[in-house]
């Protein structure tokens, strides 16, 4: 059987694509502010690998919250960019796309060790959503092959070249890196750690 990767265009999913070489990449524009840059990053990475890429556009911006959509975060939001049930929605859409491709039985996501603090980035969520999706027609599961690694470790293990890494986009606010949001801060932190090791 084969795997499809939910390829956001960010550093973690791009490194996972380079490392594991799934059968298919899926990029979803769900109404997030940096969608165009993420889509272009996913296209560039997929093209370099020779990986088939499906792009999907489903405008969920009316359901969003926080910096990713440009509205105040909902009360009690755990982070400024929190979008309610985002990963659950994206995995459902990705599985629906994957069903059109014979033989795909798993959706890979680029979750890393740092994501375990998030409700939809921890092992319990992945196990529950995978079980739920396998109960339905299509029986596609969910896995995160790099969940035991930090972002820096994932990039190192993957062997993704620096120029390919340079195409990735992690900003939560716009299609140009703001250098101020949590996404940009993580991106810069990983690059700085890698520079010291390269």
Q: Are 53 and 46 in contact (CB under 8 A)?
A: yes
Helices (H), the chain: 11-20, 35-49, 86-98, 123-135, 151-158, 162-165, 182-197
Q: Minimal CA–CA distance to 139: which of 90, 99, 111?
A: 99
> pLDDT of 47-64, one tens digit each?
999 999 999 999 999 999
- What is the number of domains present in the chain? 1
Q: How far is CA 4 from CA 33, 102, 103, 156, in A?
A: 24, 11, 10, 22
Q: What CATH number has the domain bearing residue 18? A: 3.40.50.620
* Three-class SS state of 5: strand
pTM of the model: 0.95
Measure the CA–CA gap between 32 and 122, rounded to whole angstroms: 22
Domain range enclosing 192? 2-197
> pLDDT of 88-147, one tens digit each?
999 999 999 999 998 999 999 999 998 876 767 789 999 999 999 999 988 999 999 999
């Amino acid at each position: 059987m084969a795997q499809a990767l939910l390829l956001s265009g960010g550093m973690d999913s791009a490194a996972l694509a380079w490392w594991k070489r799934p059968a298919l990449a899926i990029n979803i524009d769900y109404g997030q502010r940096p969608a165009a840059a993420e889509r272009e990053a996913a296209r560039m990475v997929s093209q370099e690998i020779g990986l088939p890429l499906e792009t999907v556009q489903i405008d969920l911006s009316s359901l969003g919250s926080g910096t990713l959509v440009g509205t105040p975060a909902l009360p009690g939001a755990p982070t400024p960019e929190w979008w309610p049930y985002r990963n659950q929605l994206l995995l459902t859409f990705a599985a629906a796309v994957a069903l059109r491709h014979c033989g795909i039985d798993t959706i890979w996501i680029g979750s890393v060790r740092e994501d375990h603090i998030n409700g939809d980035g921890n092992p319990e969520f992945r196990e529950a959503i995978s079980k739920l999706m396998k109960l339905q027609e299509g029986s596609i599961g969910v896995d995160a092959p790099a969940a035991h690694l930090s972002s820096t470790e994932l990039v190192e293990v993957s062997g993704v070249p620096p120029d390919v890494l340079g195409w990735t986009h992690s900003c939560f606010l716009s299609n140009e890196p703001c250098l101020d949001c949590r996404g940009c801060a993580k991106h810069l932190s990983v690059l700085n750690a890698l520079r010291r090791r390269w």
